[in-house]
Chains A and B, each alone.
Chain A
Amino acid sequence: MSAFASRLVIRASLGTGLFALIGCAAPLLHEISQAQNAINTAQEARAEQYASDLLVEAKSSLDEAMVLGGGQRQEARELLLRAQLQADLAAALAKERAIAEQLQAARDQRDAAKSAAASAQLAARAAKAELGKPITGP
């Protein structure tokens, strides 16, 4: 084998190895990014407050996937998918809980507005009733 051939073999091997490395790592990076984004979204939605268990599980799955070695690529992908699903559900639950709180606040505000309207109506009726009464004294 000539030096040129040797260099070709080496380059081919390096290229193959690099290709294999990129081919193996690229999907994981994408899934890690998706899982991390999902967790960030859940945190932004205050999932610590409304769906803390799911968020903890999602973070745990992500951490677990990050420490797995190259030979456990499939397991890592599964953990990342799990983390993403858990984070998505946690984010959705947190958003729904926040909306439910807004709903309760709106109901309270509606009740207060109703009470204020009733009071104002009573006051208006009382003021109108005064109009018909005779005026006594100076």
Chain B
Amino acid sequence: MNRRGDRERHGANARLLAGLTAGVLVAAAGCVVPTTLSSTPALLDQAERAVQRAQADEAIRYAPDEFLNAKTALEKATTARSEEERNSNFDFKQRRDQTTRLAAYQAWHDAELASTKARAAKEQEMIAALRTEISQLEADTQRYQAEAEAAKQERARQIAEAGQAQAMAKAESETAAKERALREKAQAELRAAMETAEKERALQRTQELERAKQELEAKLTGAMKEIAQVREEKRGLIIGLSDILFDFGKATLLPGTQSKLAQLGKILSGYADRRIVIEGYTDNVGSDAFNLQLSEARAESVRNALIEQGVSPDMISAVGYGKSKPVASNDTPHGRQQNRRVEIVVMNPPPAPPEAQSSSATTATAPPPTPASPATPQAPPAAMPAPPPTPPPATTAP
């Protein structure tokens, strides 16, 4: 029974092997598929390589059943192959060859199955790891996106704050400019008011000074009228002195005239801002040169006497006109007496130009106008050019 069963099993195995390897099998895995054309050693070699690949694919871990089946089948094939080689009986060798081929094919099949399952399992693990990595990457992406969004919002906030700060700075600048303009305007108004007040005060002071001056001059004029002949002309106040102050033909002052000149000097000292010109005149008796020289000397004598009385030498000058500018006829003794004279001219101040007037009004503290020096063009020179030739001077009356 056992022998017949073995034979049936061997026959079945042979037919199975023939059927299994009937066609050329090309697996997608790329392994070499045993065929009926393969020799028994080649089948064994393919099975061993398949088992080695399964071992390399860690099939013992991922597909242990298939891998152990493959190893068992490979051992069975190897054992049958050894028995076949050790035995010389043809039938035995043929049966063992069939057993070897069948077991080798089963080993190849199980090894390939184990490799495939192991690869699939490892790929599943890799997929799981990739999914974990993908989840991590997606979380990173979301975190980066959140960071970028937060940074953008922060930047927008910064820009908004900067805009507000600029607007505030602009508003503050405008407010400051307005305040500055208002302050400057107020200061200008204050300055204008102060200037106006100052002008008014200056004008008032000027007017007061003018009034005081006029009053003083009126007093001085009145005082002078008591001691000399005084008349007012366009150029100023004319104080006439008769020729009795001098000896005939001389320029030396008589002793009796000193008191009169002293009084005049005190009065003239009051005209601190006037220029004073001493003018000497003669009658037509004598030569022109003599009369001119005499008139100049007499005017100079009067000037010196007044300086001795306190009149500032800077404000007083002397000039002689000889027999020119007579005031009466020289044909009569009375007329010649009138022409022999010394006149003290208190010059009116020159009229100020409009701008000078206004400036003088504003400068209340400005000093009063100083008398022009004798050398100024407005002042008659101390030594006037010689008048045209005149007849010889006449003898002046004592």
CA distance A33 to B26 in the complex (A): 25
Q: What 0/1 pattern do residues 21 to 40 of A give for CB contact below 8 A with B?
A: 00000000000000000000
Give chain B interface residues in 20-67, CB to chain A under 8 Å: 20, 23, 25-29
Give the contacting residue for A51; candidates B28, B130, B154, B158; CB below 8 A. B28
Measured CA separation A45–B116 after assembly (Å): 14
Which among A88, A96, A126 has the highest number of chain B CB atoms within 10 Å? A96
Q: Chain B's nearest CB lies how many Å from the CB of A79? A: 5
Residue of B nearest to A135 (CB): B162
Does B19 contact A78, Cβ atoms closer than 8 Å?
yes
Taking CB atoms and an 8 Å cut-off, the chain A residues in 43-63 that contact chain B are 50-51, 53-54, 57, 60-61
* CB pair A124 B145 closer than 8 Å: yes
Separation of A126 and B149 alpha carbons in the complex (Å): 11
Complex alpha-carbon distance, A51 and B33, angstroms: 13
B120 partner, pick from A54, A96, A114, A127, beta carbons under 8 A: A96
A16 at the interface (CB under 8 A from B): no
Asked if A117 and B27 make an inter-chain contact with CB atoms under 8 angstroms apart, the answer reads: no
**Chain B: minimal CB distance from A45 (Å):** 11
- Complexed CA–CA distance, A78 and B21 (Å): 12
How many whole Å from A22's CB to the nearest CB in chain B?
Answer: 20
Chain A contacts for B275, CB-based, 8 A:
none
User: Given A123-B148, A138-B163, is A99 in contact with B155 using a C-beta cutoff of 8 Å?
Assistant: no
B133 — which chain A residues lie within 8 A by C-beta? 110, 113
Contact B141 A116 (CB under 8 A): yes
Q: Is the interface of B mostly helix, strand, loop or mixed?
A: helix
Interface residues of A in 98-138 (CB under 8 A from B): 99-100, 102-103, 106-107, 109-110, 113-114, 116-117, 120-121, 123-124, 126-128, 130-131, 135, 138
Closest Cβ of chain B: how far from A102's Cβ, in Å? 6
A85 with B28: CB separation less than 8 A: no
Cβ contact within 8 Å between A93 and B29: yes
Answer yes or no: B93 CB below 8 A from chain A CBs.
Answer: no
B16 within 8 A of A: yes
- B247 located at the interface, meaning its Cβ lies under 8 Å from any Cβ of chain A in the complex: no
Q: Closest A residue to B17 by CB, please name it.
A: A78
Of chain B, the residue at the smallest CB distance from A79 is B19
User: 0/1 per residue, B145-160, Cβ < 8 Å to A?
Assistant: 1011101101100110
Residues of B within 8 A of A74 (CB): 8, 11-12, 15
Q: Are A82 and B116 in contact (CB under 8 A)?
A: no
Contact assessment for A117 and B116 in the assembled complex, using a CB-CB cutoff below 8 Å: no
Cβ B109 vs Cβ A85 within 8 A: yes
A116:B12 contact, CB within 8 angstroms? no
Contacting pair A50 B155 (CB below 8 A): no
Contacts of A51 in B (CB 8 A): 27-28
Give 5 A-B contacts (CB < 8 Å), ordered by A residue: A57-B23, A78-B20, A82-B16, A82-B20, A113-B137
The 7 closest A-B pairs by CB, nearest first: A120-B144, A127-B151, A113-B137, A78-B16, A106-B130, A96-B120, A124-B148
List 7 other contacts, CB 8 Å, given A50-B28, A75-B15, A126-B148. Answer: A92-B113, A96-B119, A99-B123, A99-B124, A123-B148, A124-B148, A130-B152
* Interface set of A (CB-CB < 8 Å, partner B): 50-51, 53-54, 57, 60-61, 74-75, 77-79, 81-82, 85-86, 88-89, 92-97, 99-100, 102-103, 106-107, 109-110, 113-114, 116-117, 120-121, 123-124, 126-128, 130-131, 135, 138
